[in-house]
Structure 1
């Protein structure tokens, strides 16, 4: 667990400490912005390939991860008036349920995801209304995932999801409310992350391994403060 949180902290600090100090000083216009957002996390979760099927699941088996709504904190630093780096902090929880040949089943329960994410953003200079686009890397950290009720009943009491590096693109708009630094923000991100899931017997033998198209849409709205 400590190793996982260490990775997350390192990735989130990249946006703040990884930019050369000389660049920030030279621009002389660096500004901070923080955002408190309500976020809908809408993953896919489809099985892309089955790497190990000693458990004998049917060939037509498919899966889907459920949606969730969570609070999100975003921290942004402006390198220039129109270019910034941003990192986010949130923790979202999902189940992975069966589809196709296994409808109504539960394969993974209560998988918590920490999406350590850094994006480089460009803001269009349109006055108080500033649309933006961005892109960057992400590192999905899976915490405390459990085997689902169905896989437990099949004699697979243990499950693990591999942490995974991926990419993210985003677009949104910031709207200033007066001149006091407060504003509104709308943001849409699309992640591209393909983790692998493993299920084990009580003795620790892996009998099922599947690769998944997680690829969530992450849609946020909330308030911002720039200073």
Structure 2
């Protein structure tokens, strides 16, 4: 995991520190500025052990809300048809409980950094350059706390940092030969973090969640 994080950081640092140069539709580097919709699931994985000290019942399940965030993507072409890509963004969510009783806010201010590295295969067709990719991801979680809907006895909450996989597909559309373009991208993450809720030092609720978000992006690109 350290090697993945170091590789992603080196890609981003190299792109930022690279000397300014004219755009090139066949350049080695590509930077994208995107608007991104993060669409998680969040249901409880009932096939995994659940700790439940009377907080939920059999009718309950969980879900995470959607969010829209800005995203920066940095891509390096190791050859004309293959590239490595990493993204940078933070997305914030809350987790609610469905069923009876419903809890509109069970875990609040869940901030996620989805460190991602993918290998992409490009299939140029003139100005349209569709691609597919696959890779690995590690979700770093910050700032989570028990929501206001939980019983007052629940004093703290934690969502584990988690490793998983990702697949993606999309298209880059060149606008002239200056390196500018339009990018559309869809990623599907397969990642299932575990939540923990405590009353003091006692864990009263814990479950693994099928976060598994779709991440849909669109924006502009610059290749050089």
Corresponding residue for 1:185?
183
1: CA distance, partners of 2:36 / 2:4:
19
Deviation string 1:141-166 (CA, Å, 9 cap, x unpaired) is 11011111122x34102000000000
Corresponding residue for 1:71?
70
Structure 2 spans left out of the alignment, 5+ residues: 14-25
Give the alignment partner of residue 198 of structure 1, picking from 192, 196, 203: 196
SS at match of 2:45: strand
2: CA distance, partners of 1:118 / 1:224:
18
Contact 2:103 2:149 in 1 (8 A): no
Structure 1 pair 16/71, CA: closer, same or farther in 2 (3 Å)? closer
Deviation string 1:170-201 (CA, Å, 9 cap, x unpaired) is 00000000010000000000000010000001
Corresponding residue for 1:101?
100
Give the alignment partner of residue 8 of structure 2, picking from 9, 12, 16: 12
Structure 1 pair 61/7, CA: closer, same or farther in 2 (3 Å)? farther
Contact 1:14 1:118 in 2 (8 A): no
- TM-score under structure 1 normalisation? 0.87
SS at match of 1:13: helix
Structure 1 spans left out of the alignment, 5+ residues: 1-5, 18-28
Runs of 4+ in 1 over 4 A off after TM superposition: 6-9, 14-17
Could you say which structure has the higher helix fraction?
1
Corresponding residue for 2:124?
125
Corresponding residue for 2:32?
35
2: CA distance, partners of 1:172 / 1:81:
16
Corresponding residue for 1:47?
44
2: CA distance, partners of 1:132 / 1:43:
23
Deviates more, 1:54-63 or 1:8-17: 8-17
2: CA distance, partners of 1:36 / 1:89:
10
Contact 1:8 1:141 in 2 (8 A): no
Aligned residue pairs total 209
Deviates more, 1:46-55 or 1:215-224: 46-55
Root-mean-square deviation (CA, aligned residues, Å) is 2.0
